[in-house]
Amino acid sequence: MIEQNLTEESEQKSARVIVVTSGKGGVGKTTTSAAFAAGLAVRGYKTVVIDFDVGLRNLDLIMGCERRVVYDLLNVIHGEGSLNQALIKDKRVSNLFILPASQTRDKDALSMDGVGEVIATLQQSFDFIVCDSPAGIEKGAMTAMYFADEALVVTNPEISSVRDSDRIIGMLASKTRRAEQDLEPVKEHLVITRYDPLRVDKGDMLSADDIHEILAIPFLGVVPESKWVLAASNSGIPVTLTEEESDAGEAYFDMVDRFLGQERPFRFLDAPRRSIFSRLFRT
Amino acid sequence: MNPISPANKTSVFELKGSVITILVLHIKETDADSLYPQLEKKMNQARSFFKSAPLLIDLSAVDEEQQAALDFKYLSHKLRSLGVVPVGVRGSAAGQKERVLLAGLGLLPDIKTERTFDPPADPETLETVSVKEEKPPEPVAPEEEKLPAPVAEKEEKPPEPSETVTSQAGKTAPTKIVALPVRSGQQVFAPEGDLIILSSVNAGAEVLAAGNIHIYGALRGRALAGIHGDTTARIFSLQCNPELVAVAGEYVVNELLDERIINQSVMVSLENGSLKFDVVGSFNPAS
């Protein structure tokens, strides 16, 4: 049935699939997925964000729709519910949807063919499909990246995170559909989260330049270490949709705009100058 | 592109082919009266070097008649008593294979095909036994002489943006060229010739070559040159901060590196059995 739809509606839009990945856990993949997807939706693109973290789902919490989950990705794959039943429409932005992961199933139930069909179906009616990858390099992560056209590689300014991202970038170049079918490679974008320029200056943290040099993929931007991220997560609001403007939210909007091909000056890279004296002495 | 092990069913083991350097005993005469005393003398000269080393017996130089005169069980026993561990026989005649197996030794295919570009064996060696480290088809000296040759060849070719290019430079072994960064978990292997990386080798990555390794970027992972025992192999990198470097099995880990060479442009070579690091300049990727 899905295939029929595909041929009939091939004239329709075909969404870009964006995987948000990192290798390492806890670096901000889900926060980034939520904020980026919401940002794309605010900019007028019909966007769906899919949680691939089977068994450890969090995206619904961060998006604030955890009490509206009826069907999930695995139900759809196994034909226990339709895609439309599983998609949750965001209450704040009209063209933002969430496809939650299953919390009870085993991650092995995530079949590559099933996910492929779901993504192919979603591609007909959306502009962007954001895949929130689980940490690690196991099946969930491999499935999340397999159909990607673009990748947001989320990295913390810390060496273990950089190394894991490096590994993931290697896999994006070899273990994805685009790699296997010899298509144009997955377009990678470097996203550095939890960035603290003061600590970079002190030498406690890797600088964005260092990370960029090691990973050697195009740099999309940094998200500053911000109290807003935790506050937004805990209240179930993507940091790009908070009432008050936040630094992290602005950083994500900068990245969304850069991703959409617009020029935005890079912000949050330098520590604020403390006084007129330090300014005098520094330059 | 690279052997990133697939996350398949949990298996308790992995069966893999591997290229290793092994000691080879080339037997030129099987006369027991000259073979064993010479063997004993040679081995005793460097007992600790040979200690417990696996050893391959090469019979390509002796004809079947001579092979028939050889007592494989005794030879195997003798070698063990001298401290080495014979693992197999190469170049045995068809009629002798059974006996080799009975002596508990493995059979290896003849190396004849690989040795085509061997320089003519030096005729002055009258020793019946020569024990030497197996080298890649010994193009060592000729390769060294025309080191610039592959480079020149490369320039003539149209610029190749793709990941790996193998160029056949006349008689020298093919050079492998990799244009992309070698990332954590990836391994790039040039089994015969040189390896040229036009980018960085990141931490957690490994590059190996039978010949030299050139890295036109930072070396932050592991680099192993001369893996078949070519002691003249060298490693060059624009920014040297490796996890490990090795030439012909001789290695140094990061912790033991001299701080003065860290992040400099460095050439690593093997000299008198230990690795030598020469700073050949410095390189600032930002400039």
Express each pLDDT in B12-40 by its tens digit. 887 777 767 778 888 888 888 888 888 88
Q: What is the pLDDT of residue A231?
A: 93
CA distance A162 to chain B (A): 10
- Mean pLDDT, range B271-281, rounded to an integer: 92
Of the partner residues A163, A179, A209, the one whose CB lies closest to the CB of residue B203: A163
pLDDT tens per residue across span B185-217? 899 999 999 999 999 999 999 999 999 999 999
Q: Which of the four pLDDT bands, split at 50, 70 and 90, describes residue A127?
A: very high
Establish if B2 touches chain A: CB-CB under 8 angstroms.
Answer: yes
Q: Report the pLDDT value the prediction gives residue A2, as an integer from 0 to 100.
A: 46
Select the more confidently predicted residue: B67 or A269. Answer: A269
- Please answer yes or no on whether A216 and B184 come within 8 Å at the CB atom: no
- pLDDT at position A170 over 80: yes
What's the confidence (pLDDT) of residue A8?
Answer: 43
Express each pLDDT in A86-105 by its tens digit. 999 999 999 999 999 988 87
Tell me which chain B residues have a C-beta less than 8 angstroms from the C-beta of A179: 1
The per-residue pLDDT for range A31-88, each reduced to its tens digit, is: 999 999 999 999 999 999 999 999 888 999 999 998 888 899 999 999 988 999 999 9
Secondary structure (DSSP) of chain B: ---PPP--S--S----------EEEEES---HHHHHHHHHHHHHHTHHHHTT-EEEEE-TTS-HHHHHT--HHHHHHHHHHTT-EEEEEES--GGGHHHHHHTT-EEE---GGGGGGPPPPPTT---SEEEEE--SSS-HHHHHHTTHHHHHHHHHSPP--SSEEEE--TTSPPEEEE-SPBPTT-EEEESSS-EEESS-B-TT-EEEESS-EEEEEEE-SEEEE-TTS-TT--EEEEEE--SEEEETTEEEEGGGS-GGGTTEEEEEEEETTEEEEEEEEE--TT-
Q: Are B167 and B160 in contact (CB under 8 A)?
A: no
Q: Taking CB atoms and an 8 Å limit, are B7 and A139 in contact across chains? A: yes
pLDDT at A283: 44
More confident site: B52 or A37: A37
Higher-pLDDT residue of B85, A34: A34
Identify which of B243, B247, B223 has the alpha carbon closest to the alpha carbon of residue B234: B247
Average the pLDDT over B266-285 and give the result: 89
Q: A-chain residues within 8 Å CB-CB of B1?
A: 173-174, 179
Question: Do the Cβ atoms of A213 and B180 come within 8 Å?
Answer: no
What pLDDT score does B100 carry?
85
What's the rounded Cα separation, in Å, for the pair A135 and A164?
A: 10
Phi-psi region of A194 (alpha: psi -120 to 50; beta: other; left: phi over 0): left
Q: How confident is the model at residue B62 (pLDDT cuts 50, 70, 90)?
A: confident
Q: What tens digit of pLDDT does each residue of B90-141 get?
A: 888 888 888 888 888 888 776 544 433 333 344 333 333 444 444 343 333 3
